[in-house]
Structure 1
């Protein structure tokens, strides 16, 4: 085998390795609201959450498997169901699971469990805002009668109708939320639609509303 052939084969192997890592680079999510599972990988660093604490640390793809180093974590106490989801996520990430991207989804699979996540909306270039959102929508009228989210930027302000949706977020009745969102301008919006697009970045806090 000639030296040029060896160089060519090495280049092909390097390109194949890069290609195997490319699909996971980015942000992924499953579910919505307080219990949403999120995962991102960028420049060899992983960040993940099952709706409670944020896990983060080094990670890479080797031979189609996600290999995660020691993960650091925030130390919040959350409802038991969220803590159970978090423990399951930790076990999955520690198991060197198989990982595959297909049709806008990311599949992470071990012998014990499978996690399927959707590609998250890009948050690049958006304006960061913090808002409060009521867990229940209220009747409102745009071009036709509909239901509107109730939002405000300060707890001292009255609730206001928001005629759009917050991408990646579904409120649950009986809870109020404080969210960190990304706001994007919409060119030529319809008459009954907002001029801004809101995408959930993080659920900062949620509280149960007393009856």
Structure 2
């Protein structure tokens, strides 16, 4: 019996040595957690495909920011083009450069026109908009219909997308200048009774902004100019974008006109 125990002891020691953890196993570092996935880059083309109209705005506590909604009929609107952000429907037109990195947008200090508005709430709108857009913003959502931004202070601004003319008509369009006379005149149209037509003529400028040639005669303008509301007694020079309409209906124009800006205005006495 003693002889059996002595033989078994070396076997037990060998088994224990084989099962003991090695120094390399004991010192191994714990496995690292997988790195967080990088935020998907923002599609800059999608930003430029729409006008972005302010729909809602809340502060970090969820309270509505009333100061951003003083123009119920003309909500604050953002446009993105060529690395610049433009803001319309405040007291002044505002704009500044922007860059994208991951899901963040950084907006430089914005410049603005210097028009004074008599409505104090409208005057304050410029500051209310600028202070929330300048700096770094997180883009929480961007698709064809919604842009959602969060400022560094926790304000959440949500915009709805409205396709630009370039998106709707499939191209950049042609820039033309039209002088619109102060009075409309009756004009004949097969589908519209008692139609009144704008009286227009083209104006031509060189690349330095100097007018070239002589203005022709006013003629009946049967189309409409999107974004332009004619005021009787006021003559305007407009910068418009002219687009070719693909496959227009049989009774519709093959061209579309969209107001870019009013270059000049003049009140004409009767």
- The Cα of 1:122 is off from its aligned counterpart by 0.6
Write the distance in 1 (CA, Å) between the matches of 2:215 and 2:93: 29
Out of 47, 50, 55, which is 1:24 matched to? 47
- The Cα of 1:171 is off from its aligned counterpart by 0.6
Is 1:45–1:56's contact at 8 Å kept on the other side of the alignment?
yes
Write the distance in 2 (CA, Å) between the matches of 1:133 and 1:179: 8
Write the distance in 1 (CA, Å) between the matches of 2:269 and 2:142: 43
User: What is the TM-score normalised by the length of structure 2?
Assistant: 0.52
Out of 73, 91, 95, which is 1:55 matched to? 95
CA 207–45 in structure 1, closer or farther in 2 if over 3 Å, else same: same
- The Cα of 1:103 is off from its aligned counterpart by 5.4
What is the root-mean-square deviation of aligned Cα atoms in Å?
A: 4.3
- The Cα of 1:104 is off from its aligned counterpart by 3.8
CA 143–61 in structure 1, closer or farther in 2 if over 3 Å, else same: farther
Is 2:176–2:239's contact at 8 Å kept on the other side of the alignment?
yes
Secondary structure of the corresponding residue to residue 184 of structure 1: strand
- The Cα of 1:50 is off from its aligned counterpart by 3.2
Map residues 198-209 of structure 1 onto 2, 5 A cutoff: 198-207=257-266
Is 1:128–1:180's contact at 8 Å kept on the other side of the alignment?
yes
Write the distance in 2 (CA, Å) between the matches of 1:53 and 1:91: 15
Matched, 1:171 2:229: yes
- The Cα of 1:70 is off from its aligned counterpart by 1.5
Write the distance in 1 (CA, Å) between the matches of 2:101 and 2:182: 39
- The Cα of 1:131 is off from its aligned counterpart by 1.1
Unaligned runs of 5+ in 1: none
Unaligned runs of 5+ in 2: 1-30, 54-73, 204-213
CA 143–131 in structure 1, closer or farther in 2 if over 3 Å, else same: same
Write the distance in 1 (CA, Å) between the matches of 2:222 and 2:244: 15
Secondary structure of the corresponding residue to residue 24 of structure 1: helix
Map residues 139-178 of structure 1 onto 2, 5 A cutoff: 139-144=186-191, 145=193, 146-154=195-203, 157-167=216-226, 169-174=227-232, 175-178=234-237
User: What is the TM-score normalised by the length of structure 1?
Assistant: 0.63
CA 36–182 in structure 1, closer or farther in 2 if over 3 Å, else same: farther
Is 1:163–1:193's contact at 8 Å kept on the other side of the alignment?
no
- Show the counterpart of 1:72: 111
Who wins on radius of gyration, i.e. which is larger? 2
